[in-house]
Structure 1
Amino acid sequence: MRSTRRGRRLIATALGLGLATAGLVPATANGATGTTGARAAERGADVPYTEYEAEDGTYKGTLLEAEPTRPFGHTNFATESSGRTSVRLGSTGDHIEFTSKNATNSIVVRNSIPDAPGGGGQEKTLSLYADGKFVQKVTLSSKHSWLYGSTDDPEGLTNRPGGDARRLFDESHALLKDSYPQGTKFRLQRDADDDAAFYVVDLVDLEQVAPPAAKPAECTSITEYGAKPDDGEDDTKAIQAAVTADQKGEIECVWIPAGRWRQEQKILTVDPKYPGSPYNQVGIRDVTIRGAGMWHSQLYTLTPPQDAGGINHPHEGNFGFDIDDNTQISDVAIFGSGTIRGGDGGQEGGVGLNGRFGKNTKIKNVWIEHANVAAWVGRDYSNIPDLWNPGDGLEFSGMRIRNTYADGVNFSNGTRNSTVSNSSFRNTGDDSLAVWANKYVKDPATDVGHDNTFTGNTVQLPWRANGIAVYGGHGNKIEKNLISDTMNYPGIMLATDHDPLPFSGQTLIADNGLYRTGGAFWGEQQEFGAITLFAQGQNIPGVTIRDTDIHDSTYDGIQFKSGGGATPDVKIDNVKISRSNNGAGIRAHGGARGNAALCDVTITDSADGDVLVEPGSQFAVKEGCATK
């Protein structure tokens, strides 16, 4: 049973783990956002848009604020809101209004409108004004939101209305006809003909989108293979033909011009060489695909993956690209048709980018939305063994990943020496970023996920699981990221669940900012810290956590979770933890084993005390500056 706060404080005091003996120094609490100083300014992605929280402007409507424990899964809009607050527009004339800090010709609205009575979503409009003048209607949709059920099993939810709901928000985006200067007063207003039962507005992004890029001279357009933009017809054959031509060396580069291009089959290598495989899982290689910009060159699908038929694996879907080696993709958008992760007959949303990935693959400035997983890197060795080619030196940068039903980017199957940098993630349905050093590899002794780096990324609002996670491996780094508003799991987690290959060597968590992270899950019986180390069976050695700010955590700041393994010799250096709302600054569970050395750690305003080692724990916390 969960002990009371008073009991926990008494335990911490009895063990003598106060500020002086734990290597901590006094500090004042950070400000409301927790982002202070030059160090904070260097974290996160350098995104081209400016984000505006609905509640930070002026508004007429109802302010929604999360409860102290930020409960998830109970049709709770505030818990799923950025900053844990949003604004409900319930009546004609209700609005949010803010003044732009930058010129803009586009808008993204993170919002929630009701599902259709029988499920499947609906479209409604909201009115956009600039300096008091009507600009246009913004079309909002609930097609991709609203999952129902009380289970935390991701495969157990349904699209059929009934009972508690989660994944309440989605996003709508539009290019505007005109560009508006800095200082424009924008208003999103519910007019008389905006007739949804309610609108909840969480945030708005404004961006000055550059004009479409011109076709490089060396590239060949998909229009030369019969593709036509904006006509609603399937362009898959033309896109596949262009990619195949590039792969054969007949052209130098595939060009996707500005326009909306419908794609109803995944682009891969059409190769009958492997009849023993139940599905064609041969990816493309030696291909370069370029677009006119993610706002301009947009691939989309309308067919649910389970209805696509043909040559695609049902788990991986009917859109995007299957990649095996030496592929570059840049400046395009890939929009799926997913509505769920698993339930209702296995109607998964598919994967935007998947495959073995191999070497010399670079993915840059790609927007992926409404997929099950945005990018899954790796295939099991047993899947066509002679094509085994794990990701090595892979680079993702400038990614914009939104509103998935599972992971953002997962480095699996022995991925090594690879990076995700300067990318933004919002509303993923599992880990936004992960290294999973799984065992389904050619040689478990050497094919371990290692030396991967997640650096300079912005992660917001994962509606299930972690902001960033590492499961096994060595030499992996999590650096200079901003992570905020996880619904139910840590901002950063190192864990040995999912049966990975062991951790070894070093794992570095450095110079990150975590705000309003952690939460309760699995029937609300497990409370996770902002940073959690979970040695479920195997040990997690060699961990360093340094130069990091943890603010406004739902539960603990740093948590060592009970498990069968240990977390020995953890180093925690120059870490600031403020306002652990329903937990301790640092907590070791009763079943935790291992030890941590603290140096220059400051903890303030934690509900359950600064450092708390629960009864029965075999975990030791000590001052560790002498070994710095």
Structure 2
Amino acid sequence: MKRTHPRRRLLTGASLAGLVAATLVPLSAAAEPAAHASAASAAPAARAGADLPYVELEAEAAEFDGTLLETDAKRTFGHTNFATESSGRRSVRLDGTGQFVEFTSTAAANSIVVRNSVPDAPGGGGADTTLSLYVNDEFVQKIDLSSKHSWLYGSSDDPEGLTNTPGGDARRLFDESHALLAESYPAGSTFRLQRDADDDAAYQIVDLVDLEQVAPPAEKPAECTSITEYGAVPDDGEDDTEALQQAVTDDQNGAIDCVWIPPGQWRQEQKILTDDPQDRGEFNQVGIRDVTVRGAGMWHSQLYSLTPPHEAGGINHPHEGNFGFDIDGDTQISDLAIFGSGTIRGGDGGAEGGVGLNGRFGENTKISRVWIEHANVGVWVGRDHSNIPELWGPGDGLEFTGMRVRNTYADGINFTNGTRNSRVTDSSFRTTGDDALAVWANRYVKDPAVDVGHDNTFSGNTVQLPWRANGIAIYGGYGNKAEDNLISDTMNYPGIMLATDHDPLPFSGETVLSGNALYRCGGAFWGEAQEFGAITLFAAGQDIPGVTVKDTEIHDSTYDGIQFKSGGGAVPDASISGVTIDRSNNGAGILAHGGARGSATLTDVTITDSAKGDVVVEPGSQFQITGAP
């Protein structure tokens, strides 16, 4: 296998205009070591993660002629560290004509997704470039790359302090490009991303590719009415919002049975919702009900916006943006994509990137096989009771399955405002800002004694590369579970966190973390003053009782495997069983901070290769751990 490093030099900050912190790995170290294996190549013993329709392949494990970037020992984040923000903490940089990364497919494929980083424009706002795709040594097409939705600048870990204006350190360096190819290629085909003479950015960094065999577009169901009957025209660049909104309104009013979005690119520059003739509240916040929207497949039926929400002028709501759907209940949406145009979260005058799906959600809502990208938040479930109290109703019995949420500025899917009995299953999340998946049992509900977020489940999901906050987080409530999830490469926060910051309603009953597998999770944040474990329990103020962690694998953590963090509350009687913790690089296998309070019982726990000890209780801690291996 050819892995050529033509200049064999150390990449210094000056070599990328003062913006790169990366190391050239000697040729002898180019083979992928077990300690740095990708989540895909180091499958856990337990079944964890989504049943993905694509095969993911890492650039560093492919054949390449370029420069291998590898992170530092502490996986330092926030200082324009490309390798830290790479899957497996390594990627390949191309900066010379003819350099390439070549992947060999393991299954038939007719599409490609490329996770990549390319330079920003000198004044910010993004720049476009290309890479050349060759399959089996024949040129196929150019792959368009852009930095429009990446490159946030600033030294603050507060997202409201980041900006699109270049200067100093940067983060959120990667984005993704995708292409549906004209033909299908069998297993064993070579997919080469090559820098040709006209691929003229200063560099292109390739992290990974997804190769997928996309099915032909589905046929229109007989009961559905196409948005083309309302005047929408695919692929013409004109705004189709009016047609889409009228079709949804007719479905809601019973004039049609189902809305069909045919194959094509459909521009949408306003949120789809229910017009409120009473104009209650500062913004129109009435969602759709009793609606079914179906597409021909997420690769085929695609809604997109060209206007960043903070520049849209007539947006429906400053946080929720000018694309996607506002849902109040009994709504089914499936087999389509929603591509926003967000570029910022909070900085630059409080600008935000919009929400793909938002609203009260209510009962009987099911969302299946929806691809959301370039939003502030993929899905925000819940509204405060104070917003039109007569319409308030928590999400109950919601189902999200087969979701694909990518490259957001904040959360992937957040269950809040009393959401209960709801599930996210068999879905993938990559490069989310805040928590990829969260239950936030917030207090802004009708009855805090009753409307507690409870009995929600995140099961069989794949979470990769959150660039801020956690893979999965649970803030308060009871009966919530995270099961059989695969989580890898968190930049600065835990793979899984239970916490009582954000002032949630209390934890009670049982919270279960079971069958999860975590790779290269945890990190340092808040000015690098706080180090987080792969799983962290943070009783910031209130207690976190009833914690069960079982049948879990934790590999290659940046700091501790499991951490009990100092706070004003306690974690009493935590049960940890059937857990394997291997290689805590800069921390302990299990750590209790000096300010931690509570207790944990370990049963059948295996800890190996921890830098700072297997089970460590810091001096002065009131935390008690029994059954240590």
TM-score (norm 2): 0.93
Cα offset, 1:524, TM superposition: 0.1
* Counterparts of residues 216-615 of structure 1 (less than 5 Å): 216-273=221-278, 275-310=279-314, 312-615=316-619
Cα offset, 1:107, TM superposition: 0.5
Partner SS, residue 509 of structure 1: strand
Q: Partner amino acid for 1:394?
A: L
1:139 aligns with 2:147: no
Distance 1:33 1:57, change over 3 A: closer
What is the rounded CA distance, in whole Å, between the counterparts of 1:622 and 1:113 in structure 2?
Answer: 50
Q: Which residue of 2 aligns with 1:106?
A: 111
Indicate which of 75, 89, 102 corresponds to 1:70. Answer: 75
Select between 305-314 and 421-430 the one with higher mean Cα deviation. Answer: 305-314
Q: Deviations over 1:289-316 (max 9, x none)?
A: 0000000000000112123233601110
What is the rounded CA distance, in whole Å, between the counterparts of 1:105 and 1:195 in structure 2?
Answer: 26
Partner SS, residue 163 of structure 2: coil
TM-score (norm 1): 0.93
Q: Partner amino acid for 1:50?
A: V
1:189 aligns with 2:191: no
Cα offset, 1:93, TM superposition: 1.1
Cα offset, 1:276, TM superposition: 3.6
Q: Deviations over 1:207-242 (max 9, x none)?
A: 010010000000000000110000000000000000
Q: Which residue of 1 aligns with 2:15?
A: none
Q: Which residue of 2 aligns with 1:21?
A: none
Select between 151-160 and 30-39 the one with higher mean Cα deviation. Answer: 30-39
Partner SS, residue 243 of structure 1: helix
Partner SS, residue 173 of structure 1: strand
Distance 1:239 1:34, change over 3 A: closer
Q: Deviations over 1:438-471 (max 9, x none)?
A: 0000000000000000000000000000000000
Partner SS, residue 390 of structure 2: helix
Q: Deviations over 1:90-120 (max 9, x none)?
A: 1111111121101111110000000001101
Q: Which residue of 2 aligns with 1:49?
A: 54
What is the rounded CA distance, in whole Å, between the counterparts of 1:113 and 1:506 in structure 2?
Answer: 45
What is the rounded CA distance, in whole Å, between the counterparts of 2:253 and 2:288 in structure 1?
Answer: 11
Indicate which of 205, 214, 218 corresponds to 1:213. Answer: 218
Q: Deviations over 1:461-483 (max 9, x none)?
A: 00000000000000000000000
Distance 1:68 1:30, change over 3 A: closer
Select between 360-369 and 132-141 the one with higher mean Cα deviation. Answer: 132-141
What is the rounded CA distance, in whole Å, between the counterparts of 2:231 and 2:40 in structure 1?
Answer: 51
Distance 1:213 1:330, change over 3 A: same
Q: Which residue of 1 aligns with 2:23?
A: none
What is the rounded CA distance, in whole Å, between the counterparts of 1:312 and 1:616 in structure 2?
Answer: 53
Cα offset, 1:71, TM superposition: 0.4
What is the rounded CA distance, in whole Å, between the counterparts of 1:85 and 1:309 in structure 2?
Answer: 41
Select between 488-497 and 300-309 the one with higher mean Cα deviation. Answer: 300-309
Distance 1:284 1:150, change over 3 A: same
Distance 1:79 1:619, change over 3 A: same
Partner SS, residue 624 of structure 2: strand
Q: Deviations over 1:69-106 (max 9, x none)?
A: 00000000000000000000011111111211011111
Q: 1:34, 1:549 within 8 Å by CA — same for their partners in 2?
A: no
Partner SS, residue 55 of structure 1: helix
Partner SS, residue 109 of structure 1: strand
Q: Which residue of 1 aligns with 2:96?
A: 91
Q: 2:40, 2:56 within 8 Å by CA — same for their partners in 1?
A: no
Q: 2:39, 2:88 within 8 Å by CA — same for their partners in 1?
A: no
1:174 aligns with 2:179: yes
What is the rounded CA distance, in whole Å, between the counterparts of 2:36 and 2:79 in structure 1?
Answer: 30
What is the rounded CA distance, in whole Å, between the counterparts of 1:305 and 1:345 in structure 2?
Answer: 13
Distance 1:343 1:32, change over 3 A: closer
Q: Partner amino acid for 1:524?
A: E
Q: Which residue of 2 aligns with 1:163?
A: 168
Q: 2:70, 2:90 within 8 Å by CA — same for their partners in 1?
A: yes
Q: 2:46, 2:515 within 8 Å by CA — same for their partners in 1?
A: no
Q: Deviations over 1:163-206 (max 9, x none)?
A: 00000000000011111111101111101111000011000010
What is the rounded CA distance, in whole Å, between the counterparts of 1:214 and 1:439 in structure 2?
Answer: 45
What is the rounded CA distance, in whole Å, between the counterparts of 1:176 and 1:39 in structure 2?
Answer: 32
Q: 1:266, 1:322 within 8 Å by CA — same for their partners in 2?
A: yes
Distance 1:228 1:390, change over 3 A: same
Distance 1:352 1:32, change over 3 A: closer
Q: 2:309, 2:315 within 8 Å by CA — same for their partners in 1?
A: no
Partner SS, residue 91 of structure 1: coil
Q: 2:38, 2:58 within 8 Å by CA — same for their partners in 1?
A: no
What's the % identity of the aligned pairs? Answer: 78
- Structure 1: unaligned runs, 5 residues or longer: 1-28
1:203 aligns with 2:208: yes
Partner SS, residue 196 of structure 1: coil
Partner SS, residue 327 of structure 2: strand
Q: Which residue of 1 aligns with 2:125?
A: 120
Q: 1:517, 1:552 within 8 Å by CA — same for their partners in 2?
A: yes
Partner SS, residue 586 of structure 2: coil
Q: 1:265, 1:319 within 8 Å by CA — same for their partners in 2?
A: yes
Q: Which residue of 1 aligns with 2:28?
A: none
- The alignment of Structure 1 onto Structure 2 pairs a total of residues equal to 596
What is the rounded CA distance, in whole Å, between the counterparts of 2:465 and 2:205 in structure 1?
Answer: 16
Q: Partner amino acid for 2:52?
A: V
Q: Partner amino acid for 2:55?
A: T
Partner SS, residue 386 of structure 1: helix
Q: 1:59, 1:96 within 8 Å by CA — same for their partners in 2?
A: yes
Q: Which residue of 2 aligns with 1:16?
A: none
Q: Partner amino acid for 1:154?
A: P
Q: 1:279, 1:311 within 8 Å by CA — same for their partners in 2?
A: no
